[in-house]
């Protein structure tokens, strides 16, 4: 059986303190809810980018959800390899080349997922920057805010 949370951490995953999970949600429930919500936010970001950025195309929620899933897999498998290979450029540009690496990962996702495409590299680069900002906000919103830290 999964360990239970006995304290009530103030986390954004608690849906802004609305007490969705009750007082004793298991750690597994917290992690799964956080992962699912992050997945939905990334898919929604893809749809928002498709409506705002010219050249960024997403056919619908299904393609956006599949692209978010494939991006997670591609990022986990190829992300560390590409980061290691491009580390000199990342250091030379003080981290800015990381956006190019992430844009390249988005282009790979576009080759795999039907209904998810780019017209050129610039929309992928803009998507990379926006996804980095969304992930930064996500990390800030879901960090543990215990009083003893």
Residue 21 pLDDT: 52
Q: Is 84 exposed, middle or buried (0-12, 13-18, 19+ CB in 10 A)?
A: exposed
CB atoms within 10 A of CB 90: 19
**pLDDT confidence of 22, banded at 50, 70, 90?**
low
104-120 pLDDT per residue, tens? 999 999 999 999 999 99
Domain of residue 42: give its range.
36-141
Q: What is the pTM of this model?
A: 0.79
Give the count of domains, the chain.
1
CB atoms within 10 A of CB 38: 18
Q: Among 4-8, 52-56, 115-119, which stretch is predicted with the lowest mean pLDDT?
A: 4-8
**3-state secondary structure (DSSP) of residue 2:** coil
**pLDDT confidence of 143, banded at 50, 70, 90?**
confident
The answer to the question of residue 1 being in a domain is no
**pLDDT confidence of 16, banded at 50, 70, 90?**
very low
């Amino acid at each position: 059986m999964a360990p239970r949370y006995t304290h009530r951490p103030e986390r954004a995953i608690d849906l802004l303190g609305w007490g969705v999970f009750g007082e004793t949600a298991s750690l597994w429930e917290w992690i799964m809810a956080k992962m699912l919500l992050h997945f939905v936010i990334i898919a929604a970001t893809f749809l928002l980018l498709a409506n705002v950025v010219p050249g960024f195309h997403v056919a619908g929620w299904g393609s956006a959800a599949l692209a978010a899933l494939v991006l997670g897999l591609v990022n986990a498998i190829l992300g560390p390899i590409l980061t290691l290979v491009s580390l000199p450029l990342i250091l030379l540009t003080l981290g800015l080349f990381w956006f190019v690496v992430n844009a390249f990962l988005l282009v790979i996702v576009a080759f795999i997922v039907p209904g998810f495409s780019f017209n050129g590299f610039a929309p992928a680069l803009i998507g990379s920057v926006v996804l980095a900002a969304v992930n930064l906000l996500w990390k800030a919103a879901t960090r543990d805010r215990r009083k003893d830290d």
